[in-house]
Structure 1
Amino acid sequence: MPLSHVDCWIFDLDNTLYPRTCRLFDQVDKLITAYVVDVTGYEWADARKLQKEFFAEYGTTLNGLMATRNVDPHHYLERVHDIDYTPVAPNPGLMDAIRALPGRKIIFTNADRGHAQNVLKRLGGEDVFEDIFDIIQAEFEPKPHNPSYARFMDAHAVAPQNAAFFEDMEVNLKVPHSLGMRTVHVVPGADFDGSELEPFELERKDDEEHIHHVTDNLGAFLSPFARTA
């Protein structure tokens, strides 16, 4: 189905605006495991298992740690985003395509604003997006839980019937679909080795009704719409 009616373009950040193959989020992932080790005293393997269980059940490891260990979310976010951003390559083609889309462009991320800004600096997209809606603005209630989307919609007065939502996690597209948005699942290319990930992190079934479009090349996918802006 076409996206020619869309005037609000909503993008996830990690593994959506940059490719998984640059392995930026691998750094975050390992720092999250280290944080779980520090909080629980578990050995690395057990901490990583708990991390993934929290991610699957609570939407983010942070949400699970807040619910079960009463961690300070600001301390957590500072620690897990203390990373090297140079693996993210400038992508002027993608940024130009998004810049040229008709209407509003907004980032909606389960990370924090500082992390998003650091990624955008590397991509060359600091001037592209109207705003960044982050986990702090969501009051630490992450995607895919409904309150996160409700807060986002209220904050930006989004008309869902005129919006498109871009995500690498298919589960995070269920609520946008239910609200009437068009949904785009951004998937890794065929050359990506996801052997270290849990199956649910890359899961996509061909018959999922909440997935309207699938792409492994976001710039190419957007270019036809950008040309008509």
Structure 2
Amino acid sequence: MTNRPDPHRFAHVTEWVFDLDNTLYPHHSNLFSQIDVRMTEYVSQLLGLPREEARKVQKELYRAYGTTLKGLMERYRVDPDDFLQKVHDIDYGWLDPDPALGEAIRALPGRKFIFTNGSRSHAERAARQLGILDHFEDIFDIVAARLTPKPAAGTYDLFLDLHAVAGPSAVMFEDLARNLRVPKALGMTTVLVVPRNFEPDFADIWEADREEKDHVDYVTDDLTAFLTALVAG
């Protein structure tokens, strides 16, 4: 599934903004599953709960606050640095280097950014493993966002102000459609990246995001092909 881009509609773009998890690396790499397990373990140890109960609490916090970390901070005054260090202690060897993606990103005209609800160190290690880190001007992480995750409007404002990005000159690539609502309102072109052979009832990714489709300009399950088509055009 690739909603083939019209290069003319991207001719104005000077800033390319990419989410990290399940966007710059594919969902089928399953890297985020390691982080998910670590978060459950963290909640289990913090609250003294069996794993099954801890996972329920973790997911409830995620739904209520946007990220598990935000919920843990609000309810249990968790140290964010401790949380981020422990949940990102994972094996990045699960990611295969992607030279084709690297070349496609390198060839894009203008500045490129990673904008993630994760930590800078996590983004750096993942991007380095993929072989694409050197193509980005900067990484805007959860710490730069003052620990307030996407899709909070203020978080996007912080990013735009910090890097002097004008919404109408930018494009945002995301794997969660709800995180594209604010970028669309800011005038950004929006691209939803879905798993290969995506089906609309793929709950772990789509969740309730089908209601957010009006904020999505393009949908692709092959980011490299999408970017390559833009460059070729």
Fold equivalence (TM over 0.5) = yes
- 2:70 aligned with 1:66, yes or no? no
Write out per-residue CA displacement over residues 180-220 of structure 1, whole angstroms, 9 at most, x where no aligned residue: 1110000001279x97xxx3642342872101100000000
Cα distance in 2 for partners of 1:117, 1:41 equals 32
- Given candidates 196, 218, 222, the residue that maps to 1:217 is 222
Q: CA deviation digits over 1:136-185, x for unaligned, max 9?
A: 11110000111211111111111100100000111111110111111000
Q: Give the ranges of 4+ consecutive aligned residues of structure 1 lying more than 6 Å apart after TM superposition.
A: none
TM-score by length of 2: 0.91
Given candidates 69, 87, 91, the residue that maps to 1:84 is 91
Of the two structures, which has the highest relative contact order with CA contacts closer than 8 Å and spacing of 6 or more?
2
Indicate the residue corresponding to 2:171 in structure 1: 164
Tell me if the contact between 1:98 and 1:226 (Cα under 8 Å) persists in the aligned partners.
Answer: no
Deviation of 1:4 after TM superposition, in Å, equals 2.1
Name the amino acid aligned to 1:101.
L
| Paired residues of 1:95 and 1:124 also in contact (CA < 8 A) | yes
Q: Does 1:122 align with 2:129?
A: yes
Q: Secondary structure at the residue paired with 1:185? A: strand
- Of 52, 55, 61, 1:54 maps to 61
Higher normalized helix content (fraction of residues):
2
Uncovered stretches (5+) of structure 2, i.e. residues with no partner: 1-5
1:148 matches 2:152:
no
User: Percent identity of the aligned residues?
Assistant: 49
Q: TM-score, with normalisation over the residues of structure 1?
A: 0.93
In the aligned structure 2, how far is the partner of 1:190 from the partner of 1:201?
13
Number of equivalences: 224
Q: CA RMSD in A?
A: 1.7
Q: Indicate the larger mover: 204-213 or 178-187.
A: 204-213
Question: Which of 182, 202, 206 is residue 206 of structure 2 equivalent to?
Answer: 202
The letter for the 1-side match of 2:146 is E
